[in-house]
A and B are shown apart, each in its own frame.
Chain A
Amino acid sequence: DIQMTQTPSSVSASVGDRVTITCRASQSIASWLAWYQQKPGKAPKLLIYAAVSVQSGVPSRFSGSGSGTDFTLTISSLQPEDFATYYCQLAHSFHPITFGQGTRLE
């Protein structure tokens, strides 16, 4: 099975900072990748799908990049409501759906 590895596992940042979270797949997954945001006590929320497409309603400060094995979620200017845990997810239909271990943004 394909493994999804997120780095870092946690990151400290301040309002206004540019933040980058990385997800690496153990083999190529083309662009079959999503990013989710989860706040404590809440269900995850889809931010990015197909590696680079921003879900409707998601602020433009969120962006995704990458293809193959290396992917990045970028928050261009951190807002107070962005402090949460972020997960990447393998979405290739030929492989079991797999999430990264999460990155806590604090």
Chain B
Amino acid sequence: EVQLLESGGGLVQPGGSLRLSCTASGFSFNNYIMYWVRQAPGKGLEWVSTITGGGVRADYADSVKGRFTISRDDSQNTLYLQMNSLRAEDTAFYYCAKDIGWGNYFDSWGQGTLVTVSS
């Protein structure tokens, strides 16, 4: 069974940093593209970032480009999101998600971790 478990969320001041982790199990992690998707409380879904297997390529939404960095440790089956220069509008639940295997479809999701940016 595929399992994705996010951690690292919490309260941070504007301008601060936070690193999210997503520990994966139940599939060959290194073979799959992984994603971060966020959802502000009461709002819709927003794609944040994508990373290919092995970390060869990464993509970012314009709203986080230059501030967030996605990475992965395939030996530890773990996905990361380093978030710097955080803003109030980054407040959201952050989900990690697994690619279906051949297209930008998210077939498994973690339970989410809440990041709150506030002074």
Contacts and interface: CB of A to CB of B under 8 A. Distances in A.
A44 B104 contact: no
Nearest to B108: A46
Nearest to A95: B104
A15 B109 CA distance: 28
B50 A97 contact: yes
Interface residues of A, number: 24
- Of A36, A43, A50, A98, chain B has the most CB atoms within 10 Å of the CB of A43
Contacts of B105: 34, 46, 49-50, 89, 91
Nearest to A34: B105
Interface string B39-70: 00000111100100000000101100000000
Interface string B7-40: 0000000000000000000000000000100000
Given A34-B105, A91-B105, A97-B50, A46 B100 contact: yes
Q: Which range holds the interface residue count of chain B?
A: 20 to 34
23 contacts: A32-B103, A32-B104, A34-B106, A36-B45, A38-B45, A42-B111, A43-B95, A44-B109, A45-B109, A46-B100, A49-B100, A55-B107, A89-B104, A91-B105, A96-B47, A96-B62, A97-B35, A97-B47, A98-B47, A99-B45, A99-B46, A100-B44, A101-B44
Interface of B: 35, 44-47, 50, 59, 61-62, 95, 100, 103-107, 109-112
Shortest Cβ-Cβ A-B pairs, 8 listed:
A43-B109, A97-B47, A91-B104, A49-B105, A99-B45, A102-B44, A34-B105, A46-B107
